[in-house]
Amino acid sequence: MSVEAFVAATRAALGLEKRHLDGSVYFAGRAEARPTLVLIHGANDQAGTWASAVPLLSEYRLIVPDLAGHGESAPHSGPIPIPVIVDQLHAIIENECRNGFSPFLSLAGNSMGAWIALLYTLKHPDRVERLILEAGGGLARPLAVPLTATNRDEAMVILRAVHGPNAVLPDWAVDALIARATNAPMLRLTEPEFLDARLSEVKTPTTLIWGEHDGVIPRSYMEALRDGIAGARLEIIEGAAHIPHAQQPARFVSCLTATS
């Protein structure tokens, strides 16, 4: 399998309608009388990463975007300012509200997506009823590994940090990571706003999810988020690494849907 075939397969597996809005691409379910949940992927990823979790989230009306500069969403070259990512996400949500989705929603973000979810919540606190931060959250702390590789040894270290120490890694995944050493979307990100000093402003009920084998975000990072956000609780998923929603989808969903 190639990286292109993998991406196509995961996006198809979402089982949601593909939609376009002013250069943004996203996937959405039908506007039915269910709570709205927005699933926000991480850096260098795309909407299809949520394919394993989506079938387990039938109680929600889902919005699953390709973030600005990722997947099929513009801009396809040049800088990707973090505020633009937040604003394009808001435009998607507003568009779906006009299509019948509730204006009150839950946000679940993985890695950089957790950072975007926090930024969105701080900018639109009246819109977000629940926040789920998975393996990230916009703190000014170094990652445990770099996320770009120039050779196979470096690529293997990164991929095992993301997928776990015992993950079986196909050659195409290693080759794809090396190929993106100079043009990955994360290298184009600009205008970051780190949130260490703003965590106390978050009043939204918050669940933190972390995989016990996460080699990218250390546990201390998630504990700092937990301690900084009033009432936040931390759920640790055994056997998962940096993307628990894909590695342990049933356990991820149970953490997401738990209310206490």
Task: For residue range 112-128, list pLDDT tens digits in order.
Answer: 999 999 999 999 999 99
R_g (Cα) of the chain, nearest Å: 17
Residue-averaged pLDDT of the chain: 94
Helix (H) or strand (E) run with residue 189 in it: strand 189-190
On the question of pLDDT at 234 being above 90, the answer is yes
Looking at residue 155, what is its pLDDT? 94
Angle at 256 between CA 148 and CA 29, to 5 degrees: 85
Q: Supply φ then ψ for residue 16, to 5 degrees.
A: -115, 160
| CATH assignment at residue 13 | 3.40.50.1820
Looking at residue 259, what is its pLDDT? 65
Looking at residue 99, what is its pLDDT? 75
* pLDDT tens sequence across 126-138: 999 999 999 999 9
- Residue 175 CA to residue 155 CA, distance in Å, equals 8
Domain count of the fold of the chain: 1
Looking at residue 205, what is its pLDDT? 97
On the question of pLDDT at 187 being above 80, the answer is yes
Residue-by-residue DSSP string for 103-138: S-EEEEEETHHHHHHHHHHHH-TTTEEEEEEES---
**Residue 222 confidence class, pLDDT cut points 50, 70, 90:** very high
On the question of pLDDT at 260 being above 70, the answer is no
Range of the domain at 98: 3-257
75: which 2 tokens? 């801009």
- Strand-pairing partners, residue 64, are 27
105-110 and 128-134 as β-strands: parallel, antiparallel, unpaired?
A: parallel
On the question of pLDDT at 233 being above 80, the answer is yes
On the question of pLDDT at 56 being above 90, the answer is yes
**Residue 1 confidence class, pLDDT cut points 50, 70, 90:** low
Contacts of 118-121 with CB under 8 Å at 24 or more apart are 118/195, 118/202, 119/82, 119/86, 119/193, 119/195, 120/86, 120/89, 120/90, 121/202, 121/204
How many Cβ atoms are within 10 Å of 120's Cβ, its own excluded? 24
User: What is the mean pLDDT of the segment spanning 167-172?
Assistant: 91
Looking at residue 200, what is its pLDDT? 97
User: What is the mean pLDDT of the segment spanning 41-57?
Assistant: 96
Looking at residue 251, what is its pLDDT? 97
* pLDDT tens sequence across 88-112: 999 999 999 887 767 789 999 999 9
Identity of residue 62: L
- Residue 256 CA to residue 232 CA, distance in Å, equals 13
* pLDDT tens sequence across 16-39: 999 999 999 999 987 776 899 999
Looking at residue 97, what is its pLDDT? 86
5 and 72 in contact (C-beta within 8 Å)? Answer: no
User: What is the mean pLDDT of the segment spanning 156-161?
Assistant: 96
Looking at residue 33, what is its pLDDT? 65
- Strand-pairing partners, residue 209, are 134, 235
User: What is the mean pLDDT of the segment spanning 78-88?
Assistant: 98
